[in-house]
A = this chain, B = another copy of it.
Amino acid sequence: MEINWITLIGLVAATFTTIAFVPQAIKTIRTRNTRDLSLAMYIILSTGVILWLIYGIFINDLPVILANAITSVFIISILILKIKYK
């Protein structure tokens, strides 16, 4: 089986931008400090990721659906913590 290395770059990119929010979510859950986080950022980002998810469902693209479904869990968690502990 031949691996297309351009596709591989795309998959690694998608993995990185998906898991990036995990350390922020862990940090915020642990410290409960959200002062330096921008509420506007997490509202706009949550909306954007949900729109990406809807777009992925419409174009029936599994990587777009998966990446944004997972990312939305982390981003919405951080948004809820920001609203709760601001």
- CB-nearest residue of chain B to A39: B23
Identical copies in the complex? 2
- Of A17, A21, A40, A47, chain B has the most CB atoms within 10 Å of the CB of A17
How many chain A residues touch B (CB < 8 A): the figure is: 40
B-side contacts of A18, CB under 8 Å: 48
Chain A residues packing against B (C-beta within 8 Å): 6, 9-10, 12-24, 26-28, 31, 33-38, 40-42, 44-45, 47-49, 51-52, 54-55, 58-59
13 additional A-B pairs beyond A16-B51, A24-B40, beta carbons within 8 Å, are A6-B55, A13-B49, A13-B51, A13-B54, A13-B55, A15-B48, A19-B44, A22-B41, A23-B41, A24-B38, A28-B36, A31-B36, A37-B37
